[in-house]
Chain A
Amino acid sequence: AQSVTQLGSHVSVSEGALVLLRCNYSSSVPPYLFWYVQYPNQGLQLLLKYTSAATLVKGINGFEAEFKKSETSFHLTKPSAHMSDAAEYFCAVSGKNRDDKIIFGKGTRLHILP
């Protein structure tokens, strides 16, 4: 069975500081990995995805994530936080078979301090 664990349900960073949101996955087969973002009162939108090509994946709004097989991690980073980054972020995992479902983590709420 596949699963993801997001470390920290709430993370606070100062505006301009590095954003690091942690995600570890569990999967018996090479997975697909995703980060979704949910802004207040909105649905989720895809931020970036890893599908076994480059291990460093660049997404929208300056975010990127690195797939590290040895650490079973897929942490999300952004060099400089902006107030507009305040949102909830979900890490997700899926197998590569067409019928495999996405399994979402419980989410990390990112707070940006002025």
Chain B
Amino acid sequence: DAEITQSPRHKITETGRQVTLACHQTWNHNNMFWYRQDLGHGLRLIHYSYGVHDTNKGEVSDGYSVSRSNTEDLPLTLESAASSQTSVYFCASAPGTSRREQFFGPGTRLTVL
């Protein structure tokens, strides 16, 4: 069965370190998204991609970057982790026909100390 996976599921890091969160989908979806979920804020869009080599900034992109070298993967990099980036991160993908019908991964809980 097609799926979307995230790794690691839990990560603890220190302020200033570079961290990369992986997202891999086997749906063959063109569209992929990264969100962060924080209490009282719901989900906020960080970055998104509509295809290979395409990346775009979302609502809360400062301090984050993504790259899309193939259809299946969209890794999220925190260049220099900050305590404000402690959050739960969700990756999602959607077919080209309906970018709004998104399939979500299980999430990565990141703690920055």
Contact = CB atoms under 8 A, between A and B. Distances in A.
Interface of A: 9, 32, 34, 41-46, 49, 90, 94, 98-102, 104-107
24 contacts: A34-B100, A41-B106, A41-B107, A42-B107, A43-B4, A43-B92, A43-B104, A43-B106, A44-B43, A44-B90, A44-B92, A44-B102, A45-B103, A46-B101, A46-B102, A49-B100, A90-B42, A94-B100, A100-B100, A101-B48, A104-B42, A104-B44, A106-B40, A106-B41
Nearest to A91: B42
A102 B105 CA distance: 17
Nearest to A90: B42
B19 interface: no
Interface of B: 4, 40-45, 48, 58, 90, 92, 99-107
Main secondary structure of the interface of A (DSSP, over half): loop
Contact of A43 (B41, B100, B107): B107
Given A32-B100, A34-B100, A101-B58, A42 B42 contact: no
